[in-house]
């Protein structure tokens, strides 16, 4: 489609119960020049029927059902490959955009700031019943993002909008990473371009049993340590960030296994 501005990438598996809320938050956006690209990793629930219903209503949705499941990075790279928009927004199927001007404001930001490639926003944490349980405040400006990004990922994945071409220029998502693939990508992007967050809360990030297992936490912590070591010469405060992350890993391990 000519002049399509935004491709919205949704990766899902067996999250039909949340998917309707995610899609509704897209339809509620003031910015309408978009397509949705869904990669479904062999869902056994009624995800396919939900998507079919939206397609039959005329919404611009591409749906890729993967009988042979892909890894998370491969799924994200497939969605990128099938996206035709100048910009790509990520919305995981259990999350919700809570600001109806999210896409409009982010597109305007990147249109007016050519040296920036990535724009995110602040986050509300919700539980499986969509009840608010907390908030995440990320740094706003490029300089502050760069100063803090080794301490903590400054971008919630489902909050971001980025330029597709520049993501592809740095190789897309690392297929070797099962967790933390977004964090590694932002750090690679930051070597060449500027990054920022909107001040507004744009995302409701859902915390539920399916995304917070102990095993996943250990993998994520270990991956994050490896990732920041890759970029220790490119971003400030590596040693403090490294000590902080190693201590967090050790404390969580002790608390979990009660050693």
What is the predicted pLDDT for the residue at 215?
A: 67
What is the predicted pLDDT for the residue at 163?
A: 97
Task: Find out whether 146 and 236 touch, Cβ atoms under 8 Å.
Answer: yes
Rounded-to-integer distance, Cα 225 and Cα 252, Å:
14
Q: In the 8-state DSSP scheme, what is residue 142?
A: H
Task: Find out whether 138 and 200 touch, Cβ atoms under 8 Å.
Answer: no
What is the predicted pLDDT for the residue at 258?
A: 54
For residue 108, what are the CA distances in angstroms to 111, 162, 198? 5, 12, 11
What is the predicted pLDDT for the residue at 174?
A: 96
Question: Average pLDDT by consecutive 10-residue portion of the chain (259 residues)?
Answer: 86 95 98 98 96 97 94 96 98 97 98 98 95 97 98 97 97 92 97 97 89 68 92 96 88 67
What is the predicted pLDDT for the residue at 211?
A: 60
* Strands annotated E in 66-110: 87-90, 96-97
What is the predicted pLDDT for the residue at 85?
A: 97
What is the predicted pLDDT for the residue at 214?
A: 58
Specify the CATH number of the domain 6-208: 3.90.550.10
């Amino acid at each position: 489609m000519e002049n399509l501005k935004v491709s919205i990438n949704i990766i899902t598996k067996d999250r039909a119960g949340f998917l309707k809320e995610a899609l509704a938050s897209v339809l509620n956006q003031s910015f309408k020049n978009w397509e949705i690209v869904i990669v479904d990793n062999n869902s056994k629930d009624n995800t396919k029927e939900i998507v079919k219903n939206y397609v039959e209503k005329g919404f611009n949705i591409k749906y890729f059902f993967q009988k042979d499941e892909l890894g998370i990075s491969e799924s994200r790279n497939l969605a990128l490959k099938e996206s035709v928009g100048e910009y790509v927004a990520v919305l995981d199927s259990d999350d919700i955009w809570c600001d109806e001007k999210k896409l409009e404001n982010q597109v305007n930001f990147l249109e007016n700031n050519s040296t920036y490639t990535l724009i995110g926003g602040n986050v509300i944490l919700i539980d499986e019943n969509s009840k608010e349980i907390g908030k995440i405040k990320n740094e706003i400006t490029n300089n502050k993002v760069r100063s803090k990004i080794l301490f903590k990922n400054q971008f919630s994945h489902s909050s971001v909008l980025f330029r597709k071409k520049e993501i592809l220029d740095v190789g897309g998502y690392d297929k070797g990473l099962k967790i933390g693939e977004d964090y590694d990508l932002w750090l690679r992007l930051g070597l060449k371009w500027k990054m920022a967050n909107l001040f507004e809360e744009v995302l409701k990030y859902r915390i539920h049993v399916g995304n917070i297992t102990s095993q996943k936490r250990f993998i994520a912590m270990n991956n994050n340590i490896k990732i920041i070591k890759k970029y220790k010469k490119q971003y400030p405060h590596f040693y403090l960030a490294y000590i902080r992350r190693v201590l967090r890993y050790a404390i969580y391990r002790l608390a979990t296994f009660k050693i």
